């Protein structure tokens, strides 16, 4: 599953530059897959993309460690991307080669997450004297750098999450703990307790880091759950598929 997409708008005649979130325009460049898994044993990993529009696009790619405000010239991710800039013709494809450069930012004992940025810039209009709106679409995908020999599997990590309820202000939050060496990306979470179903907001769905925990807000939960409470949740696999799990508190 891809992350949120940011957009930069260039207005003709020096009107200015603005940064917007997804939902305002469609990208011509479509990346195959919703995430990138980079096994440490691989020399390189290829990410494929296609230009589904009727016009060529100029694509720039870079990797960061989590700061979405960084531009390509300040990218801090330990990856070499070739080509870093490419023209992708209409209805054609392009492959990006990602090569890990051996930065110490990645742990040897657990997964490390980096972010792949792909900026799609459409061509300038032929009539440069006319007023126009040019939209550049930036997509961000997670790169899971995975060392060799980690115990268990990503599926084991997702199925082995520990759930509990903790007080927070006037109510309670649902706390999820991940004891595994893999990240777990949650998509939906529901708590069935006290004869009710409490559904977490989609915007609150976390990625739980290895040996980390996250609190998920449940504003309607004002009393501790009685015995028999159950959590139903969905998580995303390496291939972008959604998987359902059930756990007891």
Q: What is the pLDDT of residues 105-161, one digit of tens each?
A: 678 899 999 999 999 988 777 766 667 667 788 999 999 999 999 999 999 999 999
Which tops the pLDDT comparison, 91 or 13? 91
Please give the torsion angle defined by the CA atoms of residues 244, 205, 209 and 211, in that order, rounded to the nearest 10 degrees: -70
Q: How much is the CA Rg of the chain, to the nearest whole Å? A: 21
Provide the token pair at 206: 């976390």
- CA dist 99 and 161 (Å) reads 32
Lowest model confidence (mean pLDDT) among 36-40, 91-95, 218-222: 218-222
Check if the beta carbon of residue 84 is closer than 8 Å to that of residue 62. Answer: yes
Query: What pTM was estimated for this model as a whole?
Result: 0.85
Assigned CATH topology for domain 154-248? Immunoglobulin-like (2.60.40)
**CATH 2.60.40.10 residue ranges in the chain?**
6-146, 154-248
Q: Span 6-146: which CATH code?
A: 2.60.40.10
- CA dist 232 and 187 (Å) reads 11
**According to the model, what pLDDT value does residue 129 have?**
67
Check if the beta carbon of residue 30 is closer than 8 Å to that of residue 52. Answer: yes
Q: Which residues, 6 or more positions from 94, have their beta carbon under 8 angstroms from its beta carbon?
A: 48, 49, 50, 51, 59, 86, 88
- CA dist 213 and 46 (Å) reads 31
**According to the model, what pLDDT value does residue 15 have?**
30
- For the chain, helix (H) and strand (E) counts, in that order, are 1, 19
Assess whether pLDDT exceeds 70 at residue 173: yes
**According to the model, what pLDDT value does residue 9 have?**
35
The CB density around residue 198, as the number of other CB atoms within 10 Å, is 20
- CA dist 224 and 162 (Å) reads 17
Across 219-227, average pLDDT: 91
């Amino acid at each position: 599953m891809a992350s949120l997409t940011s957009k930069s708008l260039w207005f003709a005649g020096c009107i200015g530059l603005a940064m917007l979130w997804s939902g305002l325009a469609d990208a011509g460049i479509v990346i195959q897959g919703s995430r990138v898994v980079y096994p440490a044993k691989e020399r390189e990993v290829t990410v494929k993309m296609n230009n589904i529009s009727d016009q060529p696009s100029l694509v720039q790619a870079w990797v960061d460690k989590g700061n979405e405000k960084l531009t390509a010239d300040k990218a801090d991710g330990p990856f070499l991307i070739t080509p870093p800039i490419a023209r992708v013709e209409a209805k054609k494809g392009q492959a990006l080669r990602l090569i890990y450069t051996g930065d110490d930012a990645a742990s040897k004992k657990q997964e490390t997450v980096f972010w792949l940025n792909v900026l799609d810039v459409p061509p300038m209009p032929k009539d440069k004297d006319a007023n126009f709106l040019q939209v550049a679409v930036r997509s961000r995908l997670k790169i899971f750098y995975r060392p060799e020999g980690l115990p268990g599997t990503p599926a084991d990590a997702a199925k082995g999450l520990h759930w509990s309820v903790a007080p927070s202000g006037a109510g309670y939050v649902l706390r999820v703990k991940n004891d595994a060496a893999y990240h777990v990306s949650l998509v939906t979470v529901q708590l069935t307790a006290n004869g009710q179903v409490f559904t977490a907001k989609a915007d609150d769905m976390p990625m739980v880091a290895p040996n980390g925990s996250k609190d998920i807000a449940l504003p309607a939960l004002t009393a501790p759950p009685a015995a028999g409470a159950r959590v139903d949740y969905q998580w995303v696999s390496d291939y972008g598929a959604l998987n359902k799990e059930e756990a007891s508190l």
